[in-house]
Chains A and B, each alone.
Chain A
Amino acid sequence: MLKRDTTFVVLGSQADRSTVYQKMLREAARPACVIFETIAAADSFAAEIGCRVYTSKERPVARQAIWRACLNRESIVISATRQGVLLPNLGVLIIDEPDRFGLRNDQQPRYHTAAVARWRSKHQQVGSMVGTAALSVYTTLLLNGGASLVGRGPISVVRPIDPRNIDVTPDDLVVLANRTLYGSYPQASEKPVSQIEQLTEHWKRAWLIGFDELAGIPEYNQQEIIYMKLQRLRYVADEVLVPTKSPEHIIFKPIFIDHEIRQRKQFGFPPFGRIAKITEPAGATYVKQFPGSANPARVLDQLNLPKGARVEFDPMHIL
């Protein structure tokens, strides 16, 4: 049962996760809020279970009514986008796919849904559940910290193959890392890598074309991003094939996430350290790393930033 002091990680497809959320919500402490990445997903879940909706699409009056209901600790369930993480007096917070929440708002503070949820879970005893298609650094650390795992991942396999052995058939899905590759496999269904999360059909085989190019992008979390994409592909195909010149790449090994956690810890990257991406009014952009325990105000004071400099903490992408 999802109580105020518990954390669950739900692993599975979108449909499986939705079923678990509904089951958990029947007994969860109220007010309870389920957070989705998009308004469409929040609307769809609300229509499915018949709960209230808290998204930017709703009228201010409706949003204020939900705020009041939460203030008064009414027994309601809310389907929301990221702003739902800030609702008062929540008993339970469920976040679907926390690793896909970027920093969308341009106004300060540019907060992370998962970071706020983690703080509320620790300091305001909000029971939390995180649903994901694949275990990431964040969800693995939750599990290592004592969270309970519900469900299991897909059973299909990811297999690196020699790029000279690509034999795409009309029944295959081809996921392209680069737009310039469009039309290279007219016999199959071609999709860009950015649309992996929206795929719902099932294929016998899925190909990720351009893996080496993706793996070469020098972002601190790039390996994890590709790993998550590959894991999601496993839900829509019996076999995921990755043409690559590096078949021994760590991404293909079962220890990948543990290795990634060790690397992040060693180099002080989030979530073990923090990053401030600074953009000066003249256009210069640079990054400052600092320990998670440091006060960001003191770190920025030492930099003597010019007036109007824009600072983004722990961005999803540095480049």
Chain B
Amino acid sequence: MVIAEVVPLVHLDTDRNLLYAIPPEILPDLQVGSLVRVPLRARRVQGVVVNFKRGTRIKTIKPIERIEMAACVDSGTFRLAQFLRVYYHAQLGECLNAILPS
């Protein structure tokens, strides 16, 4: 099973990316840099796909709900977000949230 690593565009207590299952119907369109809607506890939040993995030891994994923009963040924007993350000691999700249009 292919799993997506997603950075939610909100402040988290952890600095790690979250893992989500990819429903088969969205798999062809999903790519690194896609803006997606994902469940996060009781909320639905936006997130950006940053990587794909094969398999996980986690037994129950929530799926990505939908793609909001297939190609939203390019490599230059990722680098800019990484610069902001380090320079202003912020989380990557917060930086991407500041960068992307509301």
Contact = CB atoms under 8 A, between A and B. Distances in A.
Interface of A: 54, 56, 60, 63-64, 66-67, 71, 83, 86, 88-89, 105, 107-111, 115-116, 119-120, 123-124, 295-297, 300, 311, 313
B88 A124 contact: no
Given A111-B87, A124-B76, 7 more contacts: A86-B77, A105-B98, A108-B88, A109-B98, A123-B83, A124-B79, A297-B89
Highest count of chain B CB atoms <10 Å: which of A54, A108, A115, A297: A108
Interface of B: 11, 69, 71-72, 74, 76-77, 79-80, 83-91, 94-95, 97-102
Highest count of chain B CB atoms <10 Å: which of A86, A110, A116: A86
B23 to A, nearest CB: 24
Nearest to A292: B87
Nearest to B95: A109
Contacts of A86: 77, 80, 98-99
Contacts of B91: 108
Contact of A60 (B79, B95, B101): B101
Contact of B87 (A66, A67, A105, A313): A313
Given A109-B94, A119-B83, A88 B74 contact: yes
14 contacts: A56-B102, A83-B98, A86-B98, A109-B84, A109-B85, A109-B88, A109-B90, A109-B95, A111-B98, A116-B84, A119-B87, A120-B80, A123-B83, A300-B89
Contacts of A89: 74, 76
Contacts of A119: 80, 83, 87
A311 B89 contact: yes
A105 B69 CA distance: 25
Nearest to B77: A88
8 nearest CB pairs, A to B:
A109-B88, A63-B101, A109-B90, A108-B90, A296-B89, A86-B99, A108-B94, A67-B101
A297 B85 CA distance: 10
Contact of B102 (A60, A66, A109, A116): A60
A89 B87 CA distance: 21
Contact of B101 (A66, A105, A107, A109): A66
Nearest to B88: A109
B71 to A, nearest CB: 7
B49 to A, nearest CB: 16
Contact of A88 (B76, B84, B98): B76
Contacts of A88: 74, 76-77
A120 to B, nearest CB: 7
Nearest to B93: A108
A58 to B, nearest CB: 9
A186 B71 CA distance: 61
A159 B86 CA distance: 45
Contacts of A63: 101-102
B89 to A, nearest CB: 4
A123 B90 contact: no
A56 B101 CA distance: 9
Contacts of B71: 71
Contacts of B100: 67
A73 to B, nearest CB: 10
B79 A110 contact: no
A54 B11 CA distance: 25
Contact of B88 (A54, A64, A296): A296
Contacts of B86: 295-297
A64 B80 contact: no
Nearest to B13: A307
Contacts of B74: 71, 88-89
Nearest to A274: B87
Given A123-B79, A296-B89, A64 B84 contact: no
A108 B101 contact: no
Contact of B98 (A67, A107, A300, A311): A107
A60 B101 CA distance: 7
